Amino acid sequence: MLNATGRATVKQKSRVVIIGGGFGGLTATQELRRAEVAITLIDRTNHHVFQPLLYQVATAALSPADIAAPLRATLRSQRNVRIVMEDVMTIDRQRRAVILSDETNLSFDYLIVAPGSRHFYFGKDDWETFAPGLKTLADALEIRDRLLLSFECAVQLPDTPAARKHLTYVVVGGGATGVEVAGALAEIARQAIVRDFPGIQPDDFRIILLEGEDRVLSAYPEELSDKAMQFLKELGVTVHLKTRVTDVTRDGVYAGKTLLETANVIWAAGNQASPLLRTLNVPLDAQRRVIVRPDLTIPEESRVFVIGDAACAYDARRHPLPGLAPVAMQQARYVARVIAQSIPQERRKPFVYRDWGSMTTIGRAKAIAQIGTLRFAGVTAWLLWSFVHIFFLIGFRNRLRVMSEWIWYYFTSKPGAQLIYWKVRKAPSSQPEKHTAA
């Protein structure tokens, strides 16, 4: 824009547009807080979600407000950012603009694309109706409503096939999310639910975890996968390895030709990056992620960066980096530095991911962790996991809330968030059969 009065003397601030308020987008925004730039942060929701604990909302252990923080509140004191709550429709590289769903155009000098990913049903999108995934607060609340309704249905039909269907839970995918969901379900079902639903016995529950590979948590060393298997077994979770889902219907999940009858399927198997990335017109990998260059830019652009779950970046051994919060956050810091210091492309050092380790929890007081060459399993890993997750939560209040919920739950086994918000219209399959109690 021409600015007759100031243009010659005052340097126009660089316009940085950031798409997505997840770990990548939010960290990039915060890292640029002292930079001489004008940031626009776009998200379709008004909050940042601490995704690693989302499964605890889905399993009724935590409330949404415990693990989410409004972006505006989090960024309240940062003066150089404008927040726009809207969907992004297109990225127009030619015009160097982002086009929102209300047709607003946002021009940029720098663009950070961090829209994350959604669950992917291997092209069978109709499975989603019966097998919701877990990426947003709305997803988590949907799963929570379904689970709690399922118990309500089962308790009205003791010892019927319909009740057994309602008390069978199939989790598809043996990665971190799948293992955490299955573990939390087993725990909540056998410890908390049984007390509240007279007539349901701990052994009435069946929790089944399906994994296509020959072990769960294949990102970890085999020794820790074995430990995780053992913990799952102790919790009563049945794990089927080398098992591929062929269909998901109203009746349940087909593993090969076997039907696992269930009213509750949770999808933790596949991810696909945001469809927005297609509008960049650059090569994508199998998960539809942008194959970025060593400085996290896209081909032919030195000022368009893709980070987090939306990016396919490689480590030193040419392995793609995993879709984890620490990867997104380190990438965000790298990109923020490049922008703040206006480093020209030819002088940028490649992004290097520093792996501090990873950890996964499987029920109360059970977790596995790997930190460098150190490996932990059991209570130590769980304490470590609890500490790290509380530490990295956004906001002092959320930390306090989650910590007190966990301490409470640890000592009482009473989960804190068993509310059904929206009475889900019961599908025909889950309708209790007619019976007369009189």
Catalytic residues: 180
Residue whose pair of structure tokens reads 């009724």 in the numeric block: 60
Whether 265 and 251 have beta carbons less than 8 Å apart is answered as no
Whether 35 and 80 have beta carbons less than 8 Å apart is answered as yes
28 three-state secondary structure: helix
- Whichever of 70 and 212 has its CB closer to a second copy, that residue is 70
Closest distance of CB 115 from a second copy, Å: 15
- Whichever of 102 and 346 has its CB closer to a second copy, that residue is 102
Beta strand pairing status for 252-255 and 206-210? Answer: unpaired
Q: Which two tokens stand for residue 65?
A: 């407000």
CA atoms within 13 A on the CB side of 93: 17
Closest distance of CB 110 from a second copy, Å: 14
DSSP string, 108-148: -SEEEE---EEE--TT-GGGGGTS---SSHHHHHHHHHHHH
- Whichever of 286 and 438 has its CB closer to a second copy, that residue is 438
Closest distance of CB 87 from a second copy, Å: 9
Applying CB under 8 A, which residues contact a second copy? 1, 40, 44-47, 63-65, 68, 70, 72-73, 76, 82, 84-86, 97, 102-107, 137-138, 141, 148-149, 152, 156, 195-198, 397, 408, 414, 416-423, 431-432, 434-438
Closest distance of CB 229 from a second copy, Å: 32
Handedness of CA 232, 233, 235, 236 (dihedral sign): positive
- Nearest Cα to Cα of residue 82 among 27, 167, 34, 17: 17
Closest distance of CB 326 from a second copy, Å: 25
Over the range 192-208, which residues count as b (16 or more CB within 10 Å of their CB) and which as e?
bbbeebeebeeebbbbb
Closest distance of CB 138 from a second copy, Å: 6
Report d(CA 123, CA 419) in Å as an integer.
33
49 three-state secondary structure: strand
CA distances from 223 to 218, 220, 319, 321 (A): 10, 8, 21, 22
